[in-house]
């Protein structure tokens, strides 16, 4: 089983729609969780950290479910500029190593 698994998508949504997707992780002792965003042929950039209590940053909401070992990202009121690949990142329990998922591609259409 891969350390971090994501639905690759693509999720094709119209502008203004809400889109949500999950990421599962295999190591129950993982300590930290992030969502990174990667535009086509560009480097990954931090979108947001994921906290146990869930957190929001504008139109983006991240949740962590430790019991079921998944994190989620919800994007409200999608914009064309939200089109990207969203990478789930899990930090190892002992080695602080970041493990990346293969990404979920979101395409927002006009």
Partner 1 sequence: DTAVSQTPKYLVTQMGNDKSIKCEQNLGHDTMYWYKQDSKKFLKIMFSYNNKELIINETVPNRFSPKSPDKAHLNLHINSLELGDSAVYFCASSQGSGVQETQYFGPGTRLLVL
Residues that bind partner 1 (CB under 8 A): 31-32, 34, 41-46, 49, 85, 87, 91, 95-100, 102-103
Is the CB of residue 108 less than 8 Å from the CB of residue 83? yes
**Closest separation in Å from C-beta 15 to partner 1:** 25
Instruction: CB nearer to partner 1: give 48 or 75.
Output: 48
Strand 104-109 and strand 84-91: pairing?
antiparallel
Cβ closest to partner 1, residue 15 vs residue 93: 93
3-state helix, strand, coil in the chain (%, to 5): 5, 55, 45
25 strand-pairing partners: 4
Minimum distance from residue 97 beta carbon to partner 1 (Å): 6
Q: Nearest approach, Cβ of 102 to partner 1 (angstroms)?
A: 5
């Amino acid at each position: 089983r891969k350390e971090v698994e994501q639905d690759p998508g693509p999720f094709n949504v119209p502008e203004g729609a809400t889109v949500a997707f999950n990421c599962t992780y295999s190591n129950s002792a993982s300590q930290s969780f992030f969502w990174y965003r990667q535009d086509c042929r560009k480097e990954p950039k931090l979108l947001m950290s994921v906290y146990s209590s869930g957190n929001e940053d504008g139109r983006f909401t991240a949740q962590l479910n430790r019991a079921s070992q998944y994190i989620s990202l919800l994007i409200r009121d999608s914009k064309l500029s939200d089109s990207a690949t969203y990478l789930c990142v899990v930090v190892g329990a002992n080695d602080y190593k970041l493990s990346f998922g293969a990404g979920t591609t979101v395409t927002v259409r006009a």
